[in-house]
Amino acid sequence: MQVDEATVRRIARLARIKITDAEAKGLEKELSGILEWVEQLNEVDTSAVEPMTRVVPIDLKKREDVVTDGDIADDIIKNAPMVEDHYFVVPKVVE
Amino acid sequence: MSDLNKLTIAEARDGLRKKKFSATELTQAFLDAIKAGNSELNAYVLPTPELALAQAKESDKRLKSGDARPLEGLPLGNKDLFCTQDVRTTACSKILDDFKPAYESTIGTNLWNAGAVMLGKLNCDEFAMGSSNETSAFGPVVSPWRRLGQDGKRTTDKLVPGGSSGGSSAAVAAGLCLAATATDTGGSIRQPAALTGTVGLKPTYGRCSRWGIVAFASSLDQAGPLAKTVRDAAIMLGAMASHDPKDTTSVDAPVPDYEGALGEGIKGLRIGVPKEYRVEGMSPEIEKLWQEGIAWLKAAGATIREISLPHTKYALPAYYIVAPAEASSNLARYDGVRYGLRVPGKDVIETYENTRAAGFGREVRRRVLIGTYVLSAGYYDAYYLKAQKVRTLIKRDFDDAWNTVDAVLTPTTPTPAFALGEKLGDPIAMYLEDIFTVTVNMAGLPGISVPAGLSSEGTPLGLQLIGKPFDEATLFRAAQAIEDAAGRFVVPDRWWEAGGESPAPEASKKSAPKKKPGGKRK
């Protein structure tokens, strides 16, 4: 699969990573190389195979729907780049 | 006692119990070794001497009063992927900045509750993405091993310690800790172990809790020990493994006595040798090592049979779809809002984009983009779903093999340690480092790498044993047979000790101006 520059920019936008023009060019080549390499999987007939959902056959665990944690707002905001009281502060989202 | 840092866990445990030295003396010996050698090796990104000495003091009290816990007073290194309460945790990425977790990983809690001492946080590839420890924001780790030159003398070429747990492998090999925590998503415990002459075990998926470990690819990630000997690795896993209600994939099954199993031997054990691991371009010395391993296990009473794992060659390309896909999803949380770095932009989207461009290194960006691509609309079936189907086939290969064998023997890596920079420009060449290890993660199985010989360059080579789910005990027994036959491989020349004293390096970080909690909005 060849990836063109427009695709690289679209993917970078989806991934929320800013890329420069020079990086876009380099990534075009790198991503195409990796995607071509993984294409060898098409040799494998998987028409009758279920996709793996878990490697170890255990039942999904359940527990009582009760509060087990809380009252730790100070801990939660402790590492935030910008806060006000117990809120995270971000640039304006809604005009 | 100046050689305390050269002891194994088993020896140090014995010495402490017999009061030959105190936990404080033992810990100080390691702190001195770190001070003397870390500027050359760059194995630790954050030594924690005060914490270590405080823990050692408590251990001495308990050793004295006779209520010593299983790992009482034993100094360990902790990979910087493990969250440590109030101690900076970065995953060796700029994006986590000065993140100080409010909690400890479950494995960390298990180890410290068992009496172990934490010496500090160990270097690794950024978010554990790499096979050489060269993608760390703190710079590469240098292996304590050096190659032999043409004249038979050790060169000064800097070799990689493997990755992603390169700080762990280098620190254990160089005696900067007794043993270390590590994690393995595609080979990140076993490949560094092989390249540094140490023992590394990746447990069965679910054996150890993943809670409090920075996530890379959640269906593949599993933590395990890196140690000097098979016995030490068995002691470590016994303390690390547990059932954890906070990790729904952790298994509620008793932890066996791994150390106790070592004495059982391997008489009658059936070992499989998969023909598909005889890959093109594999060096003749790796083939020779493999044959030696077969002979050693036979001599110890095992029977050998050739087996077939037909989908082996597809494991690596499938991995490079599944792992980046899960990583792109896991790493979405680094948005500059709740913790870590923030690089402001004109609006919230640009803030995300600037933050992630500045915070993620090149390899991490590459994998997040690949992952985003294979999960994007229209491509999900062709890539992710296809890879997960291939994964089913890889696991089925092993399920079939377990009908006739109890464990599988392969080389750990296709080559010995390479030089810094040698494979950095070529992602696929770097990815091929994991060609023998990655199948184990794809199938969720346990695997151990044990040192088995030296290359023509005088650097270590490892053999890998792969086991049935939750049969780590058999792996330890078989690995012990190899260790008994091959001996231990200790770095012959402790060149890094001449380096003199210097503090741990700072990450080359550029943090955005930071507001303290309670600070005012701009």
Tell me the C-alpha distance between B516 and B511, whole Å. 14
Query: Is B515 buried (19+), middle (13-18) or exposed (0-12) by CB count in 10 A?
Result: middle
pLDDT tens digits for range B153-182 = 999 999 999 999 999 999 999 999 999 999
CATH number of the domain bearing residue A12: 1.10.20
CA-nearest of B155, B146, B145, B138 to B164 is B138
Task: Return the structure tokens found at B126.
Answer: 């950024």
CA–CA distances in Å: residue B137 to residues B131, B163, B217, B427: 15, 14, 20, 18
- pLDDT at residue number A62: 86
Tell me the C-alpha distance between B170 and B33, whole Å. 13
- pLDDT at residue number B354: 98
Compute the nearest-CA separation of A83 from chain B (Å).
Answer: 6
Q: What residue ranges in B38-178 does DSSP mark as E strands?
A: 44-47, 75-79, 117-122
Between positions 47 and 86 of A, the ones with CB within 8 A of B are 49-56, 58, 60-61, 63, 72, 74-85
Could B357 and A18 be called an inter-chain contact, meaning their C-beta atoms sit closer than 8 Å? yes
Compute the nearest-CA separation of B378 from chain A (Å).
Answer: 13
Task: Return the structure tokens found at B244.
Answer: 């954890």
User: Within its chain, how far is the Cα of B321 from the centroid?
Assistant: 21
pLDDT tens digits for range B398-426 = 999 999 999 999 999 999 999 999 998 88
| CA max distance for chain B | 73
The residues, any chain, with a CB within 8 Å of residue A93's CB and separated by 6 or more, are: B347, B348
Residue B507: pLDDT band (50, 70, 90) is low
In which domain, by residue range, is A32 found?
5-43
Mean pLDDT of B308-320: 97
- pLDDT at residue number A50: 96
pLDDT tens digits for range A70-94 = 999 999 999 999 999 999 999 988 8
Is A73 within a domain?
no
Task: Return the structure tokens found at B37.
Answer: 């050698």
- Point out the residue among B376, B391, B443 whose CB comes nearest to the CB of A11: B376
Mean pLDDT of B480-498: 95
- pLDDT at residue number A58: 79
Is A14 within a domain?
yes
Is A19 within a domain?
yes
- pLDDT at residue number B499: 54
- pLDDT at residue number B512: 40
Q: Do B117 and B73 contact (CB within 8 A), yes or no? A: yes
Is A26 within a domain?
yes
Tell me the C-alpha distance between B123 and B39, whole Å. 13
- Of all residues in chain B, the percent with pLDDT exceeding 70 is 95
**pLDDT of B509 above 60:** no
Mean pLDDT of B348-360: 97
Average pLDDT, chain A: 92
CATH 3.40.50.620 fits B4-312+390-499, yes or no: no
Chain A environment of B356 (Cβ under 8 Å): 15-18
Highest mean pLDDT: which of A30-34, A51-55, B132-136?
A: B132-136
Q: Do B184 and B190 contact (CB within 8 A), yes or no? A: yes
- Hey, is the C-beta of A22 within 8 angstroms of any chain B C-beta? no
Number of folded domains that form chain A: 1
Task: Return the structure tokens found at A92.
Answer: 């304006």
Could B389 and A89 be called an inter-chain contact, meaning their C-beta atoms sit closer than 8 Å? no
Q: Which helix (H) or strand (E) holds B195?
A: helix B190-196
- pLDDT at residue number B268: 97
- pLDDT at residue number B520: 40
Compute the nearest-CA separation of A74 from chain B (Å).
Answer: 8
Q: Do B239 and B71 contact (CB within 8 A), yes or no? A: yes
Residue A42: closest CA among chain B residues belongs to which residue? B386
CA-nearest of B324, B382, B276 to B127 is B324
Is A74 within a domain?
no
Could A56 and B204 be called an inter-chain contact, meaning their C-beta atoms sit closer than 8 Å? yes
Residue B2: pLDDT band (50, 70, 90) is low
Compute the nearest-CA separation of A71 from chain B (Å).
Answer: 13
Q: Do B153 and B200 contact (CB within 8 A), yes or no? A: no
**pLDDT of A44 above 50:** yes
Could A55 and B444 be called an inter-chain contact, meaning their C-beta atoms sit closer than 8 Å? yes
Residue B519: pLDDT band (50, 70, 90) is very low
Is A88 within a domain?
no
Between positions 366 and 425 of B, the ones with CB within 8 A of A are 366, 368-370, 372-373, 376, 383, 385-393, 395
Angle CA B140–B143–B144, to nearest 5: 140
Residue B503: pLDDT band (50, 70, 90) is very low
**Catalytically active residues of B, by annotation:** 79, 164, 188
Tell me the C-alpha distance between A73 and A68, whole Å. 15
Residue B367: closest CA among chain A residues belongs to which residue? A31
Q: Can you tell me whether residue B273 is helix, strand or coil?
A: strand
Residue B349: closest CA among chain A residues belongs to which residue? A16
> Which residue in A7, A9, A17, A71 has the most chain B C-beta atoms within 10 A of its own C-beta, making it the best mutation to test that interface?
A17
Tell me the C-alpha distance between B289 and B266, whole Å. 20
**pLDDT of B55 above 80:** yes
Compute the nearest-CA separation of B23 from chain A (Å).
Answer: 33
- pLDDT at residue number B256: 97
- pLDDT at residue number A56: 85
Q: Which residues pair with B211 in a beta bridge?
A: none
- pLDDT at residue number B508: 47
**pLDDT of B515 above 50:** no
**pLDDT of B511 above 70:** no
Tell me the C-alpha distance between B64 and A10, whole Å. 64
Is A68 within a domain?
no
Mean pLDDT of B115-129: 98
- pLDDT at residue number B128: 98
Mean pLDDT of B363-380: 95
Residue B275 DSSP one-character state: G
CA–CA distances in Å: residue B5 to residues A34, B172, B504: 43, 10, 19
Tell me the C-alpha distance between B193 and B106, whole Å. 23
Mean pLDDT of B445-452: 98
Tell me the C-alpha distance between B400 and B394, whole Å. 10
Would the pTM count as exceeding 0.90? yes
Residue B382: closest CA among chain A residues belongs to which residue? A42
CA–CA distances in Å: residue B205 to residues B192, B240, B251: 19, 13, 9
Domain boundaries, given as residue ranges, for chain B: 4-312+390-499
Q: Which residues of B132-164 are buried (b: 16+ CB within 10 A; e: fewer)?
A: bbbbbbbebbbbbbbbeeeeeebeeeebbbbbb
**pLDDT of B516 above 70:** no
Mean pLDDT of B277-291: 90
- Of all residues in chain B, the percent with pLDDT exceeding 90 is 91
Is A15 within a domain?
yes
- pLDDT at residue number B513: 41
The residues, any chain, with a CB within 8 Å of residue B11's CB and separated by 6 or more, are: none
Q: Which of A57-66, B136-145, B202-211, B477-486 has the lowest average pLDDT?
A: A57-66
**pLDDT of B352 above 70:** yes
- pLDDT at residue number B120: 98
Q: Which of A24-28, A57-61, B219-223, B273-277 has the lowest average pLDDT?
A: A57-61
Average pLDDT, chain B: 94
**pLDDT of B500 above 50:** no
What is this model's ipTM? Answer: 0.95
